[in-house]
Structure 1
Amino acid sequence: MPKQRITPITTVTAVTTVALLTLAACGTESGKGSGSGAGAGSGGEVRTETALTDVRWNVDSVTVGGKKTAAPNGASVEIDSQGRASAKTGCNSIGADVTVKGDTVTVGKKQSTLIGCPKELEAFEKALSGAFSGTLKATVQDKRLTLTTADGDAIALTSEPPAPLVGTEWTVGALAQGATATSLPKGTDGKARFTFRKDGEELSMEGSLGCNSFSAPARLTEPESGAPGILTIGRVSSTRKLCPGPEMTLERQVQKVLEGKVAYELGHRGLTLTSAGGQGLSATAAAPGK
């Protein structure tokens, strides 16, 4: 997988507009942020710093000069309580410094990867560029966030709940050896997937290794003090079908990860597993309704 080059967003026009998406989500709902000026208005409206941080926001649309532009699938933003925002658009990844004070969001320095984006994104990026600048007012109502400029342009977002480790189907999207990540063998996207199940105190995992179905007992040790959690995976039982070469290659690589004590890190809708030998994988959960 090629390495992505990071550059200040201000130097690339096409990326600048995508980057704005980052902060578009500077947004909202209950979170861990520290803030003063708490308060809830009528109709479930909330205007607090804590409501603007540590939440995953899906960008729905941008309205500039009265013209509404729908956001592409996968446009999402998160901002932490330390004032750092990150966004993924399905194309570029963006980081930015943001100041949140009450219901006011001020955009600071941004950086972005430089992957070439499809032309379909251009109209959305242009609209977002016009709406996202300077100081924005944030309004939260129920699970929705609106960021509004002084001129009345607006960015609409909706909060998305995180995926739990247990009960979620995780689809393997990349493999890793140490710090080096690689893409899946050609033609195997979506082939490897798994779900953790809990029956009383007993935990197990089941799914597809890429070709064959499998199951295994597991034990979970929750993460502490920022360290990864630990999954202790027991003996893997699987079917014995012979499959095309790429699928068998994927299967062997996934099996190397699912051995013994495996470190896990759970993101919003992402999961990484890393074995003691350094073999790893990253998996994602489908968004709600997908």
Structure 2
Amino acid sequence: MSSSDGLDVMAAGAFAAVSSEIVIHPLDTMLTRMQSATYTSVYKTANGSIKPTLFRGLYQGFGPTLLAGVPGSTAFFGTYEASKAGLERARTAGYLPAALPQSFDHVVSSACAELVAAAIANPAEVLKQNAQVAKGAGRDVSVRILKQFYRRPSTLWAGYTALVASHLPGTCLTFGLYESLKEELLRRAVWKMDEDMIRQTKVSAISAAAAGGLSSLFFVPIDVVRTRMRLSVGEQDGTIRQFAMNVRLGPAGLLSSSVPPRHGTLAVAQSIFRKEGITVLFRGSGLTCLTAAIGNGLYLGCYEGGKLYFGGSRLD
């Protein structure tokens, strides 16, 4: 990958991160609240109906997301494209078995990219998700959360193993499906040269939405565990616990079921299963699938469109 191609990839990755996050963040906020331990007591009434609180402050935590989301996105696509190009050269030179399918390159490249991007994105996710369920709204929430984690910066990587556990298989599956679907749709498509950029962007968006929505369904329980691990870090300093104490607890007393901070991934999953039941591990499945479909469609659609635009509509 040349330096000019690298700049195109970085610009397209940044564009994709900003464009998709503006649309997805409100849905992600609702999903985080649904998967939190205080969902029943804070966001639902005694008769089971949803409180308006669930829909307030949907852009809380948006700042930290962009702060690490843009470099995380550029790092992801930079690593992905570089790894894919390296594997292609190895394949051409005969270092890879001829029988090895092309999807192998996509899976390995996306795995390398995810490991790099997760290290950058995890701190932003911790800040964002704690801000999404914290008391208050607006800039004060983000500032308060930043001050809280400034005292213990190492906790910004809480849930990294769960992030990798949930994202790595999902990313590999998504990109394997995405590249295969895109290749098949592009192979069957027939259009004029001046329509290439728009049509390829549409094909990328459709392929990504289908791949992302389908693959996300397999990893909802891990996503719930990861969310609980991140929120438990905020609870340790009282940010979320104070919010929950100001609200009357429901009959289930879900405040007491909050996962203790600093527990491992397996311990957190066992705690949720033992205290709240297995159905909690699948809470928000529909919204997860919808968010993943929309998010992946926008994200990869904007990336592919941006890459073509910034690269002067050069075809891959």
* TM-score w.r.t. length of structure 1: 0.23
Which structure has the higher relative contact order (CA within 8 Å, separation 6+)? 2
Bigger proportion of residues as strand: 1
What TM-score do the two structures reach when normalised by structure 2?
0.21
Whose helix proportion is higher, 1 or 2?
2
